[in-house]
Amino acid sequence: MIGIISAMQEEIQALLNQLQNVATTKKGMRTYYKGTLFNKNVVLVFSRWGKVASAATTTQLINDFNVDEIIFTGVAGAITTNLNIGDVVIGKKLYQHDMDASPLFDQFEIPILNKKFIETKNSTALINATKLFLNTFSNYINIAKAEEFNILNPKIIHGDIASGDQFISSIEKIKQLNANLPTAVCVEMEGAAVAQICYEYSVPFSIIRIISDNANNNATIDFPKFANSIASNYALGILKNYFA
């Protein structure tokens, strides 16, 4: 069984439209949709936003559905200038950028685990699935809509991700993140929390993040527009190739 967690209800909806033999379970204000997606047994769930919500969703998913792999999909803000709206980040290392129990522990260190980041599983298959998706982009994405966001030639990066309970929308904050976590390429609010729970339960974890904004003053405008009109079809296309 593969668990698919998405940070957006819209994305769950696009995947739900393709889900067959659906059985629904409601618990803790979350709805878990079990079924077959492109011939694989999956459970889909909306993580809800932030580290606490997504960690709770992940724990429930692991305990109730016996998943042997979790894939997270959602959008993120870019904090490196070589990423543009519409590019895809496949996560390598996941940091909690707001974890700071110093001076008891080093900044970013997760107490007890003795780790500053959690690594994803080998992502070669997911990277190949994403490359194939990007090469067949127009089969999934409305090109006129993509052009509204200046998405011309979207690319993939295999890079580090910083998660925290903050929506980042200022250059000052980006500079601070770049200084403290120089390898992180994008920011979001759930990935590292889900990664930590997967690590603690020994469940292989992968993450797909689509760039929806540049974490700057425009982020609050770009993020919802992109999330609503484009992002969900990325997840659909990438997962279709991944499961093939």
Q: Please report whether residue 215 would count as binding ligand ADE according to CB under 6 A.
A: yes
- Interacting residue with ligand ADE among 188, 207, 237, 241 (CB under 6 A): 188
Among 98, 88, 2, CA closest to 44: 2
Integer CA distances (angstroms), 99 to 47, 116, 119, 163, in order: 20, 9, 16, 9
CA dist list (Å): 10 to 48, 169, 175, 183: 12, 22, 31, 30
Of the residues 10, 160, 190, 213, which is catalytic?
Answer: 213
Is residue 212 close enough to count as binding ligand ADE by CB under 6 A?
yes
Q: Is 213 a catalytic residue?
A: yes
Residues 67-86, interacting with ligand ADE (CB under 6 A): 75-77
Q: Angle at CA 133, nearest 5°, toward 158 and 88?
A: 35
Select from 33, 46, 149, 223 the one that contacts ligand ADE (CB under 6 A).
223
Answer for which of 42, 168, 184, 185 binds ligand ADE (CB under 6 A) is 168
Instruction: State the nearest-atom distance from the C-beta of 206 to ligand ADE, in Å.
Output: 18
Cα–Cα distance measured from residue 213 to residue 116, given in angstroms and rounded to the nearest whole number: 26
Q: How far is the CB of 103 from ligand ADE (least distance, A)?
A: 27
Whether residue 160 lies in the annotated active site: no
- Pick the closer one to ligand ADE by CB: 43 or 186: 186
Instruction: Between 14 and 168, name the residue whose CB sits nearer to ligand ADE.
Output: 168
Binding site for ligand ADE (CB under 6 A): 75-77, 167-169, 187-189, 212-213, 215, 219, 223
